Structure 1
């Protein structure tokens, strides 16, 4: 069970790296733009689009992306672990997903070439689909 949980733990840690990176770049950009949060009410990080440099916001957008589809990854990894599917194939697909998501993050945060980012996202999605199929087969097999 433990080897299958390792990729999920790494992706969680990576998400926190992106969280730290977004604030390490966003707060100085907000100060430079003269944005004072002390009197602001409501709003979201998306409100900063167009008010601070796009390159700064790319990190925040990626952090948000890491809170979306990867939640399915965490669930499917737990399901597979509980089903006892810790095979080399399953572990490799899980690591492939994590590696592709980290690559996706780096592309989005540093370069943000949409077609490249999309291609990496699609490869990661295929890996997640394969894991999901394995979970369904395992859950319904005798």
Structure 2
């Protein structure tokens, strides 16, 4: 195993991916709280998600993205730990991990920015290909 990167360096792209959760949460709160105040919604009206229909559509985009970040990125975070625990972090894993993290950053920037669905889909699919390749590599290196 020719390793330019150290085993624990797998956590750098994992931290970047995890940070996207918090960046998105901050973005969500920075849009939602002023919108709720502007709509003069009362606390009782916030008990269910139905209040979101009273807010501008763009206010809900960060909430959609936060949900998005709870779908496949956790598979990456789990995999980072699995590669580390098994001692199978190598250069290929690191390049793919950084590729995945970079594509998730781009996906977030598109979704929270100009929000072009086609651009978002392309970046999303590329990130999924990398995630699948990482899982296949893990299976081949460790399981089979």
TM above 0.5:
yes
| CA distance in 2: counterparts of 1:97 and 1:70, whole angstroms | 9
Superposed CA RMSD:
1.5
Q: Which runs of 4+ in 1 moved over 6 A?
A: none
| CA distance in 1: counterparts of 2:71 and 2:97, whole angstroms | 17
2:60 aligns with 57
| CA distance in 2: counterparts of 1:60 and 1:88, whole angstroms | 35
Is the 1:83–1:138 contact (alpha carbons within 8 Å) kept by the matching residues of 2?
Answer: no
Cα displacement (A) at 1:127: 0.6
- Unaligned segments of structure 1, at least 5 residues: none
Give the alignment of 1:123-134 within 5 angstroms.
Answer: 123-134=126-137
TM-score by length of 1: 0.89
Per the alignment, do residues 56 and 40 of structure 1 end up closer, same or farther by CA in structure 2, a change over 3 Å counting? closer
- Unaligned segments of structure 2, at least 5 residues: 1-6
Tell me the number of residue pairs that the alignment of Structure 1 and Structure 2 aligns: 138
TM-score by length of 2: 0.88
Is the 2:45–2:51 contact (alpha carbons within 8 Å) kept by the matching residues of 1?
Answer: no
Give the alignment of 1:6-85 within 5 angstroms.
Answer: 6-36=12-42, 38-40=43-45, 42-44=47-49, 47-85=50-88
3-state DSSP of counterpart to 2:44:
coil
| CA distance in 2: counterparts of 1:104 and 1:60, whole angstroms | 15
In the alignment, is residue 98 of structure 1 matched against residue 75 of structure 2? no
| CA distance in 1: counterparts of 2:134 and 2:51, whole angstroms | 36
